[in-house]
Chain A
């Protein structure tokens, strides 16, 4: 399992582990994922790969190394327009699809000027839905060609007796 890489897919919250072959490149991985049926409507040239929490989109001939590329995002949206609603105010920013919600929360905290001590969560649909996994990627919440998502930022629960 030492050559394992974890792949987050655009539009899906589940994460898959894959064994990298020797000399695996971004291009060869996309071809493989397509042939194994992971990419649905498969046109290799449409799919991109980026590293978790990195703005960089990897070139087709980029060699994947398990130690260096532990988690990647495979999708068709080159950027995800993320809108965050907090107390009725919306702020937006284009993020790389492999950006974790943890990083979006960090961005939103600065943008809305929320105290660092306040624990925050993002939710989908409304302010009362299930708090989202901060390790998930923004690209997992969009479905190409619609590369836009709206999150609701709320304080985390404060349990009282």
Chain B
């Protein structure tokens, strides 16, 4: 097994990740055909009319944790990126993190996602503490993303 995969599995088995599982915040979503460096994880969403109670994230985790994760919303049943019409909608950070008009929504538009950082070299100064560090674990990504959803700014899909 590769070192990045070993690290990821250790972090998933660790108490911080598992405490989120116990709280119903997130968990691994096993699915046939998902192979390293990819992983599917769901995060819970607050109740909104005609909206799901969870969203699936498809992570790319190559060189984790030296390099930060990148993820996009995923349709678990169809095994494709979630239809843009079904992405979370809302004001403030919800509208930004889940924006669908940037690079075809290939990733979340968030400072904790490694993909947009490639184009936003000022983000580490602009958003200190949020940008990925090799000492962080996948819990950082999940917590920040979930926290964005669990606000009044989220209005549903």
How long is the Cα–Cα vector from A128 to B123 in the complex, in angstroms? Answer: 13
Shortest Cβ distance from residue A7 to the other chain B in the assembled complex, whole angstroms = 11
A34 part of interface (Cβ distance < 8 Å)? no
Chain A stretch 1-16: residues in CB contact (< 8 A) with chain B: 6, 13-16
Q: Is the CB of A157 within 8 A of B16?
A: no
A66 part of interface (Cβ distance < 8 Å)? no
Q: Is the CB of B127 within 8 A of A159?
A: yes
- Interface-facing stretch out of B30-38, B61-69, B71-79, B90-98: B90-98
B40 part of interface (Cβ distance < 8 Å)? no
How long is the Cα–Cα vector from A46 to B130 in the complex, in angstroms? Answer: 38
Which of the residues B15, B22, B97, B136 comes within 8 Å of A14, measured between beta carbons? B15
C-beta contact mask, A115-139 vs B, less than 8 Å → 1, else 0? 0000100010001111101110000
Interface residues on B, range: 20 to 34
Contacts of A129 in B (CB 8 A): 128-129
Contacts of B18 in A (CB 8 A): 17
How long is the Cα–Cα vector from A6 to B144 in the complex, in angstroms? Answer: 23
Q: Is the CB of B129 within 8 A of A128?
A: yes
Q: Is the CB of A6 within 8 A of B22?
A: yes
Q: Is the CB of B92 within 8 A of A6?
A: no
Contacts of A159 in B (CB 8 A): 93, 96-97, 109-111, 127
The 8 closest A-B pairs by CB, nearest first: A128-B128, A14-B15, A159-B96, A15-B19, A130-B129, A157-B127, A157-B130, A159-B93
10 A-B contacts (beta carbon < 8 Å): A6-B22, A15-B22, A128-B128, A128-B129, A129-B129, A133-B143, A134-B147, A159-B97, A161-B96, A161-B99
Q: Which B residues are within 8 Å of any A CB, using their own CB?
A: 14-16, 18-19, 22-23, 92-93, 96-97, 99, 102, 109-111, 127-130, 133, 136, 140, 143-144, 147, 151
